Structure 1
Amino acid sequence: MPDPHLDMIQSVVPQTPEGCGECLRLNTAWVHLRLCLTCGQVGCCDSSPLRHARAHAHAVGHPIVQSFEPGENWRWCYVDETLV
């Protein structure tokens, strides 16, 4: 069965293509980047110290991200904890 959150995917432009917006603001490091497919927020992954992508997804209800790493093209749903 397809993920029910797929209809929240929009055509987005990365808000901070240079990195995690929150980490840049706080001057903290990240490991990998994730792109919110609802609004274009760029956040750091769950392996990063502050996990901004997950925090964004839960705070504003934007469940699906795509890897923002070169050469990667997978998507993750934070609500269903699965690849989509």
Structure 2
Amino acid sequence: MHLRLCLACGHVGCCDSSPAKHASQHAAETGHPVIRSFEPGESWRWCFVHKTTA
């Protein structure tokens, strides 16, 4: 399981490879569009609205 951090509020949820898909669920419920990896050594970001990485 890999963790994702919401850049709007700091919520930490698991990625879409987990059964519950907490990070995507959080984005759908709140409208917070951007997350980043919460894993050591990773610095990528993901925008749910545009489905792109930055």
TM range (shorter): over 0.9
Aligned equivalent of 1:61, options 31, 39, 42: 31
Whose relative contact order is higher, 1 or 2, with alpha carbons under 8 Å and at least 6 apart? Answer: 2
When Rg is computed on C-alpha atoms for both structures, the one with the higher figure is 1
What TM-score do you get using the length of structure 1 for normalisation? 0.63
Greater strand percent: which structure? 2
Return 5+ residue gaps in structure 1 as ranges: 1-30
Task: Say whether 1:82 aligns with 2:52.
Answer: yes
Aligned equivalent of 2:12, options 22, 39, 42: 42
Shift of 1:34: 0.2
C-alpha separation in 1, matches of 2:45 and 2:33: 10
Moved over 6 A (4+): none
Return 5+ residue gaps in structure 2 as ranges: none
- Structure 1, residues 6-46: CA drift from partner, whole Å, max 9, x if none? xxxxxxxxxxxxxxxxxxxxxxxxx1000000000000001
- What root-mean-square deviation, in Å, do the aligned CA atoms of Structure 1 and Structure 2 show? 0.6
The share of aligned pairs that are identical, in percent, is 65
